[in-house]
Chain A
């Protein structure tokens, strides 16, 4: 009897787990199916064309790709050093009484819904960027800053967790040779936790590149490639969030689906690299 229950249990969990794989395949298929019209119409040019003109039935994804890459890059440049700093402070420098409250509040920050970052960015950061850097404030730069603030808590928390895996005895060994705190952080803790730290950065990067609500508010959705960061721009998710409602032709609709397919492939690749290369379990004995 118990044998049969075991079997039922095993098979039902197997079914659910398999269902997740099916779900991923299903999403992929749906996106691909809806993209077909656009893929047939533009082919590879979809990625290299910089004109996005719905009224002319002309759709090129380059400005959105450019916007996604640049805003994410900006966010990473701003957030990485800060995240490392916060993580070092929390794992090595902060007094025990400070560690818990600061650590918890950082985890709480990571739980704030991104739409709130977007609203906060629009009402608070847009005027600041406008006053300091010029332009109208709604811009690539603002998007990069808001994104960096959004991914910072997650990065800092995971980096801290990675640093905390450094065995005390290893740190003590370096102190026992006359190392200062800074020596121990840079020579022992960061090299030891390197894989986990890089993994957390890549996960954050994956989150930034797919982020929609936080940047939709502050980016402007302008399909134009500009090297001036104070100009409004767009990104793949921003385009999607803004334009689905007004997609009035089959080709327009299909082009948006191809954009989302592109985003899915990019995110998938980034997360896979992080998961399978950097965040895999360490070999036993290390």
Chain B
């Protein structure tokens, strides 16, 4: 049984007996997992490759449904409703629960259109309102000053770090309640990484954040809670300083001190 700290804050998500199996696999990648996610805080998921952390993250916005044959069971409660329900409106769900990927994914269009994309999908056509919300999102993502003079330029002309902040702006623009970060800095240099980490911490004011990272220092630097996963199970979830200083599980201690990984 996993050691799970009492979370005093409201919960953004509650994972109950969640189990996930990829199409064609003969064993589940996530096994009977229970986990609360605190609202307006940053939860980091750490663990060795193949431990199921990304699989779990991608279940929160039902990304797995894009590919046929994956099987899952259990419950993930978001606002007291089970988002694993087959009748769940995935379009609405993905607007409320946004995602940032391992590599910057600027769309083949202008900087402005990239940020406006999610808003336009929702049917927002009013030019002044679009302009205002794009500007605000770019400011929130701390990239406004760098791009304000070239909003019409192709987004692929930006550097990797800028593109990743653009992707964050794009995700923030639709005002999600939860943002999922899947190793967001794995393709970036140290300076861009620092910028993204700073940004993630600032975003906590408005959204609940779940970040998967293979970098333990990153988890220690940015997160409030850290969950350690191993072989598809949650081993320990606790306040980040406790996980890194006084972990309760022996497995957690061995992992963070580098005995395996």
Chain A residues positioned under 8 Å from B63 (CB to CB): 172, 175-176
Q: Are A188 and B107 in contact (CB under 8 A)?
A: yes
Tell me the minimal C-beta distance from B141 to chain A in angstroms. Answer: 14
B238 at the interface (CB under 8 A from A): no
B7 at the interface (CB under 8 A from A): no
Q: Are A96 and B117 in contact (CB under 8 A)?
A: no
A176 to B95, CA, bound (A): 7
A194 to B95, CA, bound (A): 28
**Which of B96-104, B201-209, B239-247 forms contacts with chain A?**
B96-104
Q: Mark B182-217, 1 if CB is under 8 A from A, else 0.
A: 000000000000000000000000000000000000
Tell me the minimal C-beta distance from B227 to chain A in angstroms. Answer: 22
Tell me the minimal C-beta distance from B20 to chain A in angstroms. Answer: 17
Q: Using A169-B103, A173-B101 as known contacts, say yes or no to A178 and B91 having CB atoms under 8 A apart.
A: yes
Tell me the minimal C-beta distance from A189 to chain B in angstroms. Answer: 10
Interface residues of B in 73-118 (CB under 8 A from A): 91-92, 94-95, 98-99, 101-103, 105, 107-109, 117-118
Q: Are B109 and A172 in contact (CB under 8 A)?
A: no
Q: Are A173 and B91 in contact (CB under 8 A)?
A: no
Q: Mark A186-220, 1 if CB is under 8 A from B, else 0.
A: 01100110100000000000000000000000000
A180 to B108, CA, bound (A): 17
Q: Are B167 and A178 in contact (CB under 8 A)?
A: no
Chain B residues positioned under 8 Å from A179 (CB to CB): 91, 121
Most-contacted residue by chain A among B61, B91, B105, B171 (CB, 10 A):
B105
Chain B residues positioned under 8 Å from A172 (CB to CB): 63, 66, 99, 101, 105
Chain B residues positioned under 8 Å from A180 (CB to CB): 91
B156 at the interface (CB under 8 A from A): yes
A95 at the interface (CB under 8 A from B): yes
B174 at the interface (CB under 8 A from A): yes
Tell me the minimal C-beta distance from A177 to chain B in angstroms. Answer: 4
Tell me the minimal C-beta distance from B110 to chain A in angstroms. Answer: 11
A227 at the interface (CB under 8 A from B): no
Q: Using A176-B94, A183-B121 as known contacts, say yes or no to A191 and B108 having CB atoms under 8 A apart.
A: yes
Q: Are B117 and A176 in contact (CB under 8 A)?
A: no
Q: Using A176-B63, A177-B171 as known contacts, say yes or no to A170 and B122 having CB atoms under 8 A apart.
A: no
A95 to B68, CA, bound (A): 8
For A184, the closest partner residue in chain B by CB is B66
A171 to B92, CA, bound (A): 17
Q: Using A169-B103, A183-B121 as known contacts, say yes or no to A177 and B174 having CB atoms under 8 A apart.
A: yes
A3 at the interface (CB under 8 A from B): no
Count B interface residues, CB 8 Å: 26
Chain B residues positioned under 8 Å from A183 (CB to CB): 121
B170 at the interface (CB under 8 A from A): yes
Q: Are B66 and A178 in contact (CB under 8 A)?
A: no
Q: Using A169-B101, A169-B105, A176-B99 as known contacts, say yes or no to A286 and B121 having CB atoms under 8 A apart.
A: no
Chain A residues positioned under 8 Å from B109 (CB to CB): 187, 191
Q: Are B167 and A173 in contact (CB under 8 A)?
A: yes
For B173, the closest partner residue in chain A by CB is A177
A174 at the interface (CB under 8 A from B): yes
Interface residues of A in 101-118 (CB under 8 A from B): none
Q: Mark B139-157, 1 if CB is under 8 A from A, else 0.
A: 0000000000000000010
A187 to B108, CA, bound (A): 8
Q: Are A170 and B68 in contact (CB under 8 A)?
A: no
Q: Mark B158-172, 1 if CB is under 8 A from A, else 0.
A: 000000000100110
Chain B residues positioned under 8 Å from A178 (CB to CB): 91-92, 94-95, 118, 121-122, 174
For B156, the closest partner residue in chain A by CB is A286
Q: Using A179-B121, A183-B121, A187-B117 as known contacts, say yes or no to A174 and B91 having CB atoms under 8 A apart.
A: no
A148 to B113, CA, bound (A): 36
Interface residues of A in 229-244 (CB under 8 A from B): none
Q: Are A175 and B117 in contact (CB under 8 A)?
A: no
Chain A residues positioned under 8 Å from B156 (CB to CB): 286
- From A96, A170, A177, A194, B94 is in contact (CB under 8 Å) with A177
Q: Are B103 and A175 in contact (CB under 8 A)?
A: no
12 further contact pairs, Cβ within 8 A, besides A173-B101, A178-B122, A188-B108: A169-B105, A172-B101, A172-B105, A176-B61, A176-B63, A176-B101, A177-B95, A177-B171, A179-B91, A183-B121, A188-B107, A192-B108
3 residue pairs, one from A and one from B, having the closest CB atoms: A177-B118, A176-B99, A173-B105
8 residue pairs from A and B, CB less than 8 Å apart: A96-B68, A167-B105, A173-B101, A173-B105, A173-B167, A176-B94, A177-B98, A192-B108
